[in-house]
């Protein structure tokens, strides 16, 4: 059986971005994904654009999963968003705490994602399939790996159905994490989030913020390529395809790709993995 795959987009800011995303979706739809998800800016800054992208995806006949983040949001704002999604027949959410732009202090009703998950369950019962975030290499703000794992369990116990991980390039981090979760009685599927390598500077910036480790040997080789994008992408394609192969061979329930609204590299990875249905 082919593994279930899903793709994550960010909501485009311009008309040109909307057109580009439509084309990306058309290409990725050929891989028969389970769903397309759309990110949500801190404090609801992309609320309308996330909604627009989600409804467009749904109108094309695909399952659309909006991300929803609690930081800086009030209960009333979240409830109104949930009602709107319910009225459009949306059944899946990716539920997060979110991050504040640096210097901002949260004024919202939700400090942790687990509180938002509990609130959604309390207000909407089992209407939504709830996906939450997981961190095989530990969330950067966590006091310790053990504390992070404990908080992850609280979030799962609050009502999550599945988790999608932060990206990583070390398959062992994922397998260790899954083993630890199972030992704690966490039984939901934990789907690895996969970040294809598009551009080194951008990847290094994201990784600094989210705590995802780029192994030293890989970082050095990517740095060496500098502006030589074709060598960089060829290495990235090899590395990420290998990672996906290991993850699937080791029992990962599927793959969730961070697309950055691009389809080319993912299509290449999918061809190598023979994911086309």
Catalytic residue ranges: 8
DSSP 8-class letter at 58: H
Q: Buried b / exposed e across 31-54, counting CB within 10 Å, b at 16+?
A: bebbbbbbbbbbbbebbebbbebb
**How far is it, in rounded angstroms, from Cα 211 to Cα 209?**
6
Backbone angles phi, psi at 89, to 5 degrees: 75, 20
Closest CA to 57 of 33, 87, 84, 83: 33
Binding-site size for ligand FAD (CB under 6 A) equals 25
Question: Applying CB under 6 A, does 98 fall inside the site for ligand FAD?
Answer: yes
Closest CA to 197 of 99, 243, 265: 265
Contact with ligand FAD (CB under 6 A): which of 28, 65, 94, 181?
A: 94
Question: Applying CB under 6 A, does 139 fall inside the site for ligand FAD?
Answer: yes
Handedness of CA 146, 151, 157, 163 (dihedral sign): negative
For the CB of residue 188, give the shortest distance to ligand FAD in the complex, in Å.
Answer: 14
Per-residue contact flags (x/-) with ligand FAD for residues 28 to 57, judged by CB under 6 A: -----------xx-x---------------
- Per CB under 6 A, which of residues 211..270 are in contact with ligand FAD? none
Specify the residue, 128 or 233, whose C-beta has the smaller distance to ligand FAD: 128
**Interacting residues toward ligand FAD by CB under 6 A:** 39-40, 42, 67, 69, 94, 96-99, 112-114, 133, 139, 141-142, 147-148, 151, 155, 164, 166, 193, 210
């Amino acid at each position: 059986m082919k593994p279930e795959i899903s793709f994550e987009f960010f909501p485009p800011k311009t008309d040109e971005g909307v057109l580009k995303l439509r084309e990306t979706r058309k290409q990725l739809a050929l891989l028969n994904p389970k769903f397309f998800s759309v990110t949500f800016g801190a404090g609801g800054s992309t609320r309308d654009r996330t909604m627009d992208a989600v409804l467009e995806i749904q109108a094309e006949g695909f399952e659309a999963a909006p991300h929803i983040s609690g930081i800086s949001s009030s209960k009333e704002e979240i409830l109104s968003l949930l009602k709107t999604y319910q009225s459009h027949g949306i059944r899946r959410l990716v539920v997060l705490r979110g991050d504040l732009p640096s210097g901002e202090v949260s004024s919202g009703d939700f400090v942790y994602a687990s509180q938002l998950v509990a609130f959604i369950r309390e207000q909407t019962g089992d209407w939504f399939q709830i996906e939450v975030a997981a961190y095989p290499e530990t969330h950067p703000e966590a006091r310790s790996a053990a504390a992070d794992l404990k908080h992850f369990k609280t979030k799962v116990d609050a009502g999550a159905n599945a988790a999608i991980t932060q990206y990583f390039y070390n398959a062992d981090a994922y397998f260790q994490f899954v083993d630890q979760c199972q030992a704690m009685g966490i039984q939901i599927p934990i789907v690895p989030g996969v970040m294809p390598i598009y551009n080194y500077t951008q990847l290094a910036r994201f990784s600094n913020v989210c705590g995802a480790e780029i192994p030293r040997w890989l970082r050095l080789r990517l740095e060496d390529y500098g502006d030589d994008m074709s060598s960089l992408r060829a290495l990235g394609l090899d590395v990420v395809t290998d990672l996906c192969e290991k993850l699937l061979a080791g029992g990962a329930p599927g793959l969730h790709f961070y697309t950055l609204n691009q389809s080319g590299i993912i299509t290449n990875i999918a061809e190598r993995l023979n994911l086309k249905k």
